[in-house]
Structures are given as C-alpha cells and as structure tokens.
Amino acid sequence: MKTVTKFLNGEKLRYDYSYNNNGSITKQVYNFDNTTGKESKKSEKDLITIINGNIANSESDWGDNYDVISTIKYEYDTNNNAFKNIRGLNLLLDQFSLDSEMSLSSNNNIKRFKVTHKQGPLSNIAFEPYWFKMEYEYNKNGYPIKKTTYDYAERITEIVEYVY
C-alpha cells in the first residue's frame, strides 16, 4: 500500500506510506483545506516496524503543536489471526476498519499492547495509563473463536466471538 485517503466528519486526510531500507515504514499525513482547496503536509508522522507479518512497534510524532511522541509496543501469540487468509488485508497496515479489531492486518493475535508517551517541554497534556491485554480461546486449527480484552485496571472492555 502506498496511499490512503480518508474522509472523516467533513475532513479529508491523506496518508502516504514509504518503505525504508531498514524494513520500517514511514507514514506521512496530509490535510486537505476545504476552504482553499489546497493540501498541506502535517508535521505529524508515524514510524511503523513490522516483524514476521505483525506490527511490532509504532511511533507517532504528534507534530509541532503538541510536542509529544507516542510509542505503541505490541506482543503477539503464535496462533493464526482470524483475518490472516483474507487476500491483501495484510497490506492495510495500520488502517483498522472493523471497530476495535486492531490486529486486522497481522498474521497473529495481539496478546498485549502498551502506549507510552514522551513529552517535550512544550507539552501540557496529562496522560493516563493505556494498555490492553487480550486472551483467546482457539479452535482445533489454531484460529480464535473468542477474544476477551482487559484494560489496565484488569476490567473486561470487550468480548468478541468469531464464527467461521
């Protein structure tokens, strides 16, 4: 995938993906101004690292107006993702489109992800802990039939059942 154009609440955004020599992927964000009709490059950008077909790390620079860099670290199991065999879905990278199904384009199932924030001197944002843990039940072929998601306080936030 090279480009994604997103229309959200009357706003148009474009994401350009470039593949780096070290195997990482840079996502640059562009904003479309409805009044002037011009597109501008935003200062925010993401750096995505993929290992064994799974997004292992994502670093997001919020841009000049925020002075915050967020890092998301993902841990996976060794079982098959429910969406693994949908041709081309792995090319969608970080474009999650099925509600909160974050591992949509990964080969395996996310067991845990944690978000940390590095704030610069200009940032005045307060962050709460942000991590989730997922537990799965599997069928005999190693595909999930049920996923339970817990937040940082160990509360169940979601239960998803998969039917094949």
pLDDT for 77-109, tens place per residue?
999 988 887 776 666 666 554 444 555 678 899
Q: What is the mean pLDDT of the chain?
A: 84
Per-residue pLDDT tens over the stretch 144-157: 999 999 999 999 99
**For 26-37, what is each residue's pLDDT tens digit?**
988 888 888 888
Q: How far apart are CA 109 and CA 105, in angstroms?
A: 10
- The pTM of the full predicted model, rounded to 2 decimals, is 0.75
Which amino acid belongs to residue 109?
A: N
Q: Determine contact, residues 84/77, Cβ cutoff 8 Å.
A: no
pLDDT, position 107: 87
Supply the DSSP symbol for 90: G
Grade residue 137 by pLDDT with cuts at 50, 70 and 90: very high
Q: Over 70: is that where the pLDDT of 121 sits?
A: yes
Tokens, residue 119: 């704030």
Domain-by-domain residue ranges, the chain? Answer: 49-161
Residue with tokens 């200009």: 122
